[in-house]
């Protein structure tokens, strides 16, 4: 009987396949991913597929069906077991696999899960995922073949490689870590044994129900426990991860959050010491301060589209040694492999802090201050969201505004900048504004609201607290 399977249309996203377990994502979907992606890998001349999974309660079952599908496609499957997404990326590189699939719901609620894929060491995303869905529905993949599978424990090699880029410093650090009950737990518990200093681990146990708090370090509320403990312990730094540990959150010795762009400034200055005049990439949501500071440090700042797959592709194209996003994805390609790894990013920030002649809070205090809105997301139908961006862009061009159209519209004015872009993964528009003063920020917000109203949309609620940045 010829294989064919229809995915729930909401599960085929821009960067991954993702849905709610038992509703929009099932074990049949897992088998289909294995069978169809396996077919694609084999068609490209590939023979091996490496698979890993996160700590969600649904992940082991999904893995079982994914492996069966990939074996029926004739592949040799290597399972690296439960761990963070970057460990799977590491396995893919070091084992020279032809394809890779990570079963993970990332930072989403506990009832979500999904699949992140790589083909020949590159992200598998966008139109490729849509094509996978079409192939699955059409069938015609040929008869089932007899593949094989094995389990490989790569944890020790991964930890050893993470520790390799720790160079140390004169300071012995006290570090608080918040694993958020995510997939990094077992690795983190071993990793800190190889680091000097004192390490306090919060929520280290892997628990897919996330009993302590939601595993997303870009939301300030999720860092409250970490901040409290950093202050209580008088620690030098606090580090948090998302559910699959490909993103990092950092708080300084005073308990202040270093947002993604501020963190990239710290990393950028360090990387530019050994890679002078290098291109450093950040997404369109990043502060103007980041681009100015990278330039000041002798780098070539490049603003690019939001999305980890898009950033990785741009890094490869520009041979950039460092890139990052506001969401906490940090990509090192100076000594590392160019993929986003929260644990590796943690080693690099600890290495920097251990060599500083001042606390991390002093570095943050010296950065220029701006006032920004939080990232505002508001509903807009998938069929309408890109049209709105086109309309706004057209009006701005007519007004001769200073506008970048790399990803949505980012408008620069003497008061600062505002951004409006369409989400690639949800039926929402995303807005953000950053001003040099409170008065300037109000003007930027008014300009943004005006454009939305001209396109017949109700503006998002800007009344929330503004964060100095």
Containing H/E element for 33?
Answer: helix 27-43
- CA angle 388/459/372 to nearest 5° reads 100
Catalytic residues: 106
- What is the C-alpha to C-alpha distance for residues 447 and 386, in angstroms, rounded to an integer? 19
Q: Residues near 445 by Cβ (< 8 Å), separated by ≥ 6?
A: 373, 418, 433, 462
- What is the C-alpha to C-alpha distance for residues 248 and 240, in angstroms, rounded to an integer? 6
- What is the C-alpha to C-alpha distance for residues 372 and 468, in angstroms, rounded to an integer? 6
What one-character-per-residue DSSP string does 331-346 give?
EE-SSS-SSB-HHHHH
* Closest to 365 in 3D by CA, of 272, 262, 437: 262
Residue 419: half-sphere exposure toward Cβ, Cα within 13 Å:
28
Q: Give the rounded distance of the alpha carbon of 65 from its chain centre.
A: 26
C-alpha distance from residue 384 to each of 280, 300, 457 (Å): 33, 35, 11
């Amino acid at each position: 009987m010829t294989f064919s399977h229809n995915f729930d249309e909401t599960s085929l996203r821009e960067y991954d396949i993702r849905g709610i377990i038992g509703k929009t994502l099932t074990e049949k979907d897992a088998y289909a991913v294995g069978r169809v992606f396996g077919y694609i890998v084999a068609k490209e001349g590939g023979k091996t597929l490496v698979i890993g999974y996160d700590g969600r309660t649904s992940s082991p079952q999904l893995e079982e069906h994914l492996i069966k599908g990939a074996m029926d496609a004739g592949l040799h499957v290597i399972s690296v077991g439960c761990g963070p997404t970057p460990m799977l990326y590491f396995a893919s590189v070091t084992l020279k696999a032809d394809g890779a699939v990570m079963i993970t719901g990332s930072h989403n609620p506990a009832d979500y899960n999904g699949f992140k894929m790589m083909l020949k060491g590159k992200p598998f995303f966008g139109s490729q995922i849509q094509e996978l869905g079409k192939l699955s529905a059409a069938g015609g993949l040929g008869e089932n073949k007899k593949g094989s599978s094995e389990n490989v424990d790569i944890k020790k090699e991964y930890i050893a490689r993470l520790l390799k880029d720790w160079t140390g410093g004169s300071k012995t650090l006290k570090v608080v870590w918040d694993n958020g009950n995510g997939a990094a737990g077992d690795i983190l518990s071993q990793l800190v044994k190889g680091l000097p200093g004192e390490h306090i681990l919060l929520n280290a146990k892997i628990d897919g129900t996330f009993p302590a708090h939601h595993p997303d370090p870009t939301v300030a509320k999720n860092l409250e426990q970490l901040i409290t403990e950093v202050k209580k312990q008088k620690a030098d730094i606090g580090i948090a991860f998302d559910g699959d540990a490909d993103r990092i959150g950092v708080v300084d010795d005073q308990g202040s959050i270093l947002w993604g762009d501020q963190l990239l400034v710290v990393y950028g200055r360090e990387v530019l010491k050994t890679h002078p005049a290098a291109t450093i990439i950040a997404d369109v949501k990043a502060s103007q301060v980041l681009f100015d500071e990278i330039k000041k440090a002798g780098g070539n700042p490049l603003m690019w589209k939001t999305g980890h797959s898009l950033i990785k592709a741009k890094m490869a194209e520009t041979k950039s040694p460092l890139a990052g996003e506001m969401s906490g994805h940090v990509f090192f390609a100076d000594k590392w492999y160019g993929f986003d790894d929260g644990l590796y990013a943690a080693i690099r920030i600890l290495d920097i802090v251990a060599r500083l002649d001042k606390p991390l809070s002093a570095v943050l205090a010296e950065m220029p201050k701006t006032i920004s809105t939080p990232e505002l997301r508001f509903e807009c139908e998938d069929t309408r969201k890109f049209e709105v961006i086109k309309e706004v862009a057209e009006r701005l061009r007519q007004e001769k505004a200073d506008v970048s159209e790399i990803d949505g519209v980012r408008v620069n004015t003497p008061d600062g900048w505002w951004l409006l872009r369409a989400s690639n993964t949800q039926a929402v528009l995303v807005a953000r504004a950053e001003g040099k003063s409170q008065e300037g920020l109000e003007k930027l917000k008014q300009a943004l609201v005006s454009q939305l109203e001209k396109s017949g949309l109700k503006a998002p609620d800007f009344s929330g607290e503004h964060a100095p940045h």
